[in-house]
């Protein structure tokens, strides 16, 4: 079922793609237990406070949810994105309704306080943040957020205007559920309040490993960077960043 191939064409003994001067196997591809995260994967511990995490979890506990769909590549056009169920992913999206602004505010803060200063990027928009719930057995197979693997082209093709992927974890009362970056052999057990962001392309293929016990919640969004050629107009639910003080659009 897992048809995705490694797109990062770099050997274990090659110089690392991050230009550190070290070999890939000793740098971003290291198998050492106390290795650093791969270049490009930024991890901010305790970005959200326990109070913020718990407030969102309390809302989630009273809300319904629906199983997520994936983008249907065959039936999507440059005008319209079509979505379908897919057995590579078992996740529920929590219905936040009138509480959606809590997620929007938190993601805006992540962008203005961490992502923009860190990356020096300008962000045109971010997709409406979603609160995802992975119950026991929930997972998301290896994928890239902005690219799909196309068999006939034997490569990854960009399909959506996503440049940076953002994850914000809320809880720890579960087992399994690690995030794994396939190309870098890097696996991380999320902690409550932890913010992670990384490029959305296929170098950063990632997997949400199955939750084996309990339930895991995470906020997700995807950012479109200024200056990157767009495939489509902003999605209808996109949240624009209009904040001249930090030099963004």
Alpha carbon distance 41, 95 (integer Å): 29
* Whether the Cβ atoms of residue 147 and residue 248 lie closer than 8 Å to each other: no
Beta carbon nearer to Zn ion, 16 or 119: 16
The distance of closest approach from Cβ of residue 32 to Zn ion in the complex, given in angstroms and rounded to an integer, is 13
Beta carbon nearer to Zn ion, 16 or 48: 16
Beta carbon nearer to Zn ion, 28 or 60: 28
Beta carbon nearer to Zn ion, 30 or 224: 30
- Count the neighbouring beta carbons within 10 Å of the beta carbon of residue 117: 11
Phi/psi zone of residue 227: left (φ > 0), alpha (ψ -120 to 50 degrees), beta? left
Buried b (16+ CB within 10 A) or exposed e, 83-108: eeeeeebbbbbbebeebbebbbebbb
Structure tokens at 216: 């895991």
The distance of closest approach from Cβ of residue 16 to Zn ion in the complex, given in angstroms and rounded to an integer, is 3
The distance of closest approach from Cβ of residue 203 to Zn ion in the complex, given in angstroms and rounded to an integer, is 12
The distance of closest approach from Cβ of residue 196 to Zn ion in the complex, given in angstroms and rounded to an integer, is 18
The distance of closest approach from Cβ of residue 1 to Zn ion in the complex, given in angstroms and rounded to an integer, is 30
Q: How far is CA 134 from CA 26, 104, 130, 197, in A?
A: 33, 21, 13, 19
Q: In terms of residues, how long is the chain?
A: 249
The distance of closest approach from Cβ of residue 34 to Zn ion in the complex, given in angstroms and rounded to an integer, is 15
Beta carbon nearer to Zn ion, 169 or 184: 184
* Three-class SS state of 38: coil
Beta carbon nearer to Zn ion, 203 or 217: 203
Beta carbon nearer to Zn ion, 27 or 219: 27
Helices assigned H by DSSP within the chain: 50-61, 100-110, 116-119
Q: How far is CA 156 from CA 9, 73, 200, 224, 230, in A?
A: 12, 13, 12, 19, 17
Task: Please report, as ranges, the residues that interact with Zn ion according to CB under 5 A.
Answer: 16, 18, 20, 27-28, 39
* Whether the Cβ atoms of residue 178 and residue 186 lie closer than 8 Å to each other: no
The distance of closest approach from Cβ of residue 149 to Zn ion in the complex, given in angstroms and rounded to an integer, is 24
């Amino acid at each position: 079922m897992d048809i995705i191939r490694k797109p990062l064409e770099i050997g274990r003994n090659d110089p690392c793609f991050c230009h550190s001067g070290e070999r890939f196997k000793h740098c971003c591809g290291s198998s050492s237990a106390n290795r650093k995260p791969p270049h490009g994967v930024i991890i901010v511990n305790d970005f959200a406070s326990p109070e913020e995490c718990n407030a969102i979890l309390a809302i989630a506990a009273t809300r319904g949810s629906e199983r997520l769909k994936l983008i249907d590549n065959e039936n999507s056009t440059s005008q319209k994105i079509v979505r379908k169920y897919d057995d590579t992913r078992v996740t529920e999206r929590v219905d936040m309704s009138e509480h959606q602004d809590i997620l929007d505010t938190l993601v805006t803060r992540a962008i203005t306080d961490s992502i923009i200063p860190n990356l020096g990027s300008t962000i045109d928009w971010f997709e409406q943040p979603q609160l995802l719930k992975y119950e026991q057995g929930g997972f998301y197979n290896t994928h890239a957020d902005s690219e799909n693997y196309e068999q006939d082209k034997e490569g990854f093709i960009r399909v959506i205007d996503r440049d940076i992927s953002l994850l914000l974890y809320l809880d720890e009362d579960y087992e399994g559920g690690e995030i794994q970056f396939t190309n870098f052999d890097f696996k991380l057990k999320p902690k409550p309040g932890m913010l992670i962001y990384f490029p959305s392309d296929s170098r950063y293929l990632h997997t949400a490993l199955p939750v084996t016990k309990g339930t895991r919640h995470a906020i997700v969004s995807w950012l479109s960077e200024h200056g990157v050629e767009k495939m489509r107009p902003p999605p209808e639910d996109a949240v624009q960043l209009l904040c001249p003080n930090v030099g963004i659009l």
